[in-house]
């Protein structure tokens, strides 16, 4: 089946939520030094400031499943756009540290919700043969958002530090960095108004005619067969769509989601995203240089995410994760060695560029695809919420503790991340099933779930 314009357009709009996810996640990296100075923060308080968004993210990832089921994927995405907008304005105008924390928590709710709903929506409108690369558009937009945040931070700093800038402009740069997210948030809300509801959600709500029409518009050549598969997978006549999630028949997908989500964060990726400029400063770079090197990492991530999108439906999820785990373990070990031996920023930049390339090619592109497809239709929202919650739980732990651990030596943190990637390689090789090219309903049968 060809990917028609309606399907592609709906995918790109849903993935704008992921762009905001990436932008809002990474933009704090350029403001950490200013926040430390303005609010007189210790390393522990700075870690909490960065991780505070993750408190909201945990809540958002857990809570998003219910509105996505009750109100639909589309309305939930619209609500998340509002949260992004309020958070951005609040952070930009924050009058004290407490206000900043509160608005970062609100932004975190939006990030957590988006990590559940955007990939789930795309998986539910995508055909099996293109599902991997279409859901990976969500990851591409996360990466694009991260690059946009790094570039925005660098540009704002350069502009407000120039001789032509107004007096005191440089000291307000962090406010512009955090507040500018309001612009793409408003656009996201407007664009979501024009996408269709998920046909699988419509079937669950007994709105089959609407689901049939959406499937036709999305370009399904076998609309009736697809509709029948969806209906059968939901067991509408005999199985409650609100049945208990934590039960034996769902144990395998639950454990697989826990494994993939945990190891994604044990790679240390969000410590790098949140503290990019700090890491390069630790390696000896000046502030402007550190922000520019952050942009280089963002570009590297974007390029290799595009590469991953081109091969994920051919190579498969399992093979990409194994390649990535091996590459990440080596790159992280080199980074740790560079910090232990104080051999300069060039080594750190080189090893972290390779690290970002491996992560984007594997973990980054696979996690949201895998979480969106491993659970059956009738519990997908709850399964996706669980996987996202676990992902953000470990992200909060890593992000909060990283400044404290790195204060002794950055090598300690990177050594730990490297060892976790070796463990992941073994676990993926032993336990992960391949899901490429299989319909969501057939994956359910493949896992023995009736």
Domain residue extents for the chain = 5-446
Lowest mean pLDDT among 6-15, 29-38, 424-433: 29-38
Cα–Cα dist 292/151, whole Å: 8
Between CA 187 and CA 194 the distance in angstroms is 12
pLDDT, greater one: 205 or 168: 205
**C-alpha span between 153 and 174 (Å, rounded):** 8
* pLDDT given for residue 440 in this prediction: 67
R_g over Cα of the chain: 21
Q: Is the pLDDT of residue 286 over 70?
A: no
**Amino acid 141: pLDDT:** 85
Between residues 113 and 402, which one has the greater pLDDT? Answer: 113
Reading the block at residue 222, the tokens are 């076998």
More confident residue, 12 or 424: 424
450 confidence band (pLDDT: 50, 70, 90): low
For position 260, what pLDDT does the model report? 92
What pLDDT is stored for residue 368 in this prediction?
76
Percent of the chain with pLDDT over 90: 17
Q: What pLDDT does 171 receive?
A: 63
**Mean of the pLDDT values across residues 138-161?**
81
Residue 103 has pLDDT above 90, yes or no: yes
282 vs 349, higher pLDDT:
349
Q: CATH: 3.40.50.720, 1.20.1250.20, 1.10.357.10, 3.40.50.300. Which one for 5-446?
A: 1.20.1250.20
| Band of pLDDT at residue 79, cut at 50, 70 and 90 | very high
Q: For the chain, what is the mean pLDDT?
A: 81
Selected residue with higher pLDDT from 142 and 326: 326
pLDDT of residue 367: 85
pLDDT band at 89 (very low <50, low <70, confident <90, very high): very high
pLDDT at res. 345: 63
CB 226 within 8 A of CB 370: no
| Tens digit of each residue's pLDDT (9 = 90 or more) over 242-259 | 567 878 888 888 999 999
CB 418 within 8 A of CB 332: yes
- Residue 366 CA, chain-centre distance (Å), reads 11
Q: Which of 254, 259, 253 is nearest to 363 (CA)?
A: 259
pLDDT at 185: 93
Joined tokens for residue 93: 């105008």
**pLDDT score, position 235:** 57
Q: Which residue has the higher pLDDT, 275 or 60?
A: 60
Give 339-357 pLDDT, tens digit per residue: 888 776 677 778 888 888 8
Query: Does residue 175 have a pLDDT over 70?
Result: yes
Q: Is the pLDDT of residue 167 over 60?
A: no
pLDDT band, residue 161 (cuts 50/70/90):
low
Q: Would you place residue 166 in the very low, low, confident or very high pLDDT band (cuts 50, 70, 90)?
A: very low
CA distances from residue 374 to 310, 319, 324, 369, 379 in whole angstroms, order as listed: 21, 16, 20, 9, 10
* Chain centroid offset of residue 68 CA: 18
| pLDDT number for residue 238 | 40
Closest CA to 434 of 357, 345, 370, 387: 370
Residues above pLDDT 70, as percent of the chain: 86
For residue 258, what are its two tokens? 């826990």
Query: What does the pLDDT read at residue 239?
Result: 45
The pLDDT assigned to 95 comes to 87
The residue among 412 and 180 whose pLDDT is bigger is 180
Tell which wins on pLDDT, 444 or 175: 175
């Amino acid at each position: 089946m060809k990917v028609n314009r309606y399907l592609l357009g709906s995918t790109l709009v849903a993935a704008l939520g992921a762009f905001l996810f990436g932008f809002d996640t990474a933009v704090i990296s350029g403001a950490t030094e200013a926040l430390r100075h303005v609010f007189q923060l210790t390393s522990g308080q700075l870690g909490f400031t960065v991780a505070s968004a993750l408190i909201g993210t945990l809540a958002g990832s857990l809570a998003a499943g219910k509105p996505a089921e009750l109100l639909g994927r589309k309305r939930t995405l619209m609500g998340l756009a509002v949260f992004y907008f309020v958070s951005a304005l609040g952070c930009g105008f924050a009058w004290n540290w407490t206000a900043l924390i509160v608005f970062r928590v609100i932004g975190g709710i939006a990030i957590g919700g988006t990590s559940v709903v955007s990939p789930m929506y795309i998986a539910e409108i995508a055909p099996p043969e293109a599902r991997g690369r279409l859901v990976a558009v969500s990851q591409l937009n996360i990466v694009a958002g991260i690059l946009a945040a790094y570039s925005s931070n660098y540009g704002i700093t350069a502009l407000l530090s120039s001789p032509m800038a107004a007096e005191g402009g440089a000291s307000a740069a962090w406010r512009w960095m955090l507040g500018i997210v309001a612009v793409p948030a408003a656009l996201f809300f407007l664009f979501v108004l024009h996408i269709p509801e998920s046909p699988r959600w419509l079937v669950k709500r007994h709105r089959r005619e609407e689901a049939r029409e959406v499937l036709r518009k999305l370009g399904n050549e076998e609309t009736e067969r697809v509709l029948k598969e969806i209906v059968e997978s939901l067991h509408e006549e005999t199985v409650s769509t609100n049945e208990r999630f934590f039960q034996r028949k769902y144990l395998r997908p639950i454990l697989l989601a826990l494994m993939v989500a945990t190891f994604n964060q044990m790679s240390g990726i969000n410590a790098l995203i949140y503290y990019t400029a700090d890491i390069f400063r630790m390696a000896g770079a000046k502030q402007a240089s550190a922000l520019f090197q952050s942009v280089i990492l963002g570009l590297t991530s974007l390029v290799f995410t595009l590469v991953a999108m081109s091969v994920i439906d051919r190579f498969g999820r399992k093979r990409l994760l194994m390649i990535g785990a091996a590459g990440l373990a080596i790159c992280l070990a080199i980074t740790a060695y560079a910090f232990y031996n104080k051999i300069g920023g060039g080594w750190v930049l080189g090893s972290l560029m390779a690290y970002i390339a491996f992560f984007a090619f594997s973990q980054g592109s696979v996690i949201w695809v895998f979480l969106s497809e491993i659970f059956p239709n009738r519990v997908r929202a709850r399964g996706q919420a669980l996987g996202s919650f676990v992902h953000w739980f470990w992200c909060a732990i890593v992000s909060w503790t990283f400044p404290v651990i790195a204060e002794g030596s950055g090598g300690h943190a990177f050594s730990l991340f490297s060892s976790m990637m070796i463990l992941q390689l073994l676990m993926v090789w032993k336990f992960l099933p391949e899901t490429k090219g299989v319909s969501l309903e057939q994956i359910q049968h493949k896992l023995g779930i009736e």
